Structure 1
């Protein structure tokens, strides 16, 4: 590298490192899960992730009512969520988190729209568990504090995972089928 092209600031050096790391990761996942890259299969994965997160949120709600088996439901749901979510990111080519320099204009625009929607989803869904935590403490001070905190925490975890995962799910859902290789 010449002095003119060498990144100077800490942020520029980090971004250059991030791009190099991204290109390596892109090569690693390029051939993974070829059978899951069709529209139908990607959408099935997205539905699985949404269902798992819905069950995690439900486990939080049920925990608020003191059902002792609700954490088990949440744990099993997380065990379904983790591999499903990983698969969604792979089949969406992890473009929800790609450095801008690695995307073309269309991919960049799609990613930015998906990220914007993900932020909106996070904000809207997080309101409900936040209201639960604030109001349950204010209206029912004699309620079991640990149960209230656990239930609210599980509900917030589910909403944050849903909003944070929404960009990849949107990209996986809307992407067209890959061109067949000859």
Structure 2
């Protein structure tokens, strides 16, 4: 049993080292964008993309296919691209293990994930009621599924949006350690 535990601990350490290396690379990306103003702009773009995605789900099978495609795929591209950039700018707080965070970062992350979880639960309740409302219509099952998917995507992007909106400007000194390690 101790041999197995030793292998698991070694595997866990390798995973943490790999995630730390990913974070080092990510910390050097977009250095000029690491301001509150940029993160807030990206947060607004994620929310706008999510709303476009939801509107695409509303128009699924009820409007011309072009309207649905523009809403669904346009919202996916807008929200997905902005969310990707926002995760880079919020750093390890939005995607890392909490053991790698200091107390302040852990507190920010827990607040953001708690609020986003509560909103996600509320959105899933909305999805259930929407599915019940449209269940008697033609293609009601598909429409309910599309709305559920859109609201699920919206709920999963909220933690990064909250962090992006509320975090202060990054301190350039925080990234000197990463720059020194990358030049070695």
Which band: TM-score by shorter chain? 0.7 to 0.9
Verify: 1:172 aligned to 2:164, yes or no: yes
Distance 1:50 1:9, change over 3 A: farther
Tell me the distance in 2 between the aligned counterparts of 1:159 and 1:169.
15
Does structure 1 residue 27 correspond to structure 2 residue 24? Answer: yes
Conserved 8 A contact 2:123-2:151 = yes
Q: 1:55-74 counterparts in 2 under 5 A?
A: 55-63=52-60, 65-73=62-70, 74=72
TM-score, normalization: structure 1? 0.82
CA apart distance, 1:18: 3.5
- Report the counterpart of residue 138 of structure 2 in structure 1: 144
Q: What stretches of structure 1 of length at least 5 have no aligned partner?
A: none
Whole-angstrom CA distance in 1 between matches of 2:43 and 2:21: 25
Note the aligned Cα RMSD (angstroms): 2.4
Unaligned runs of 5+ in 2: 177-184
Matching residue of 1:95:
93
Shift of 1:105: 0.9
Report what 1:37 is aligned to.
34
User: 1:84, CA displacement in angstroms?
Assistant: 0.9
Q: Deviations over 1:49-92 (max 9, x none)?
A: 00000000011112253443232121122122221110000000
C-alpha distance after superposition, 1:83-121 (max 9, x if no partner): 111000000014122112210111111111111111111
Instruction: Please identify, of 158-167 and 43-52, the stretch whose mean Cα deviation from structure 2 is larger.
Output: 158-167
Match of 1:130 in 2: 128
- Cα 1:51–1:18 change in 2 (3 A) is same
> Conserved in 1, the CA contact under 8 Å of 2:134 and 2:143?
no
Q: TM-score under structure 2 normalisation? A: 0.82
Shift, 1:133, TM fit: 1.3
More helix by percentage: 2
Distance 2:12 2:44 in 1: 33
Quick one: distance in 2 between partners of 1:14 and 1:120? 33
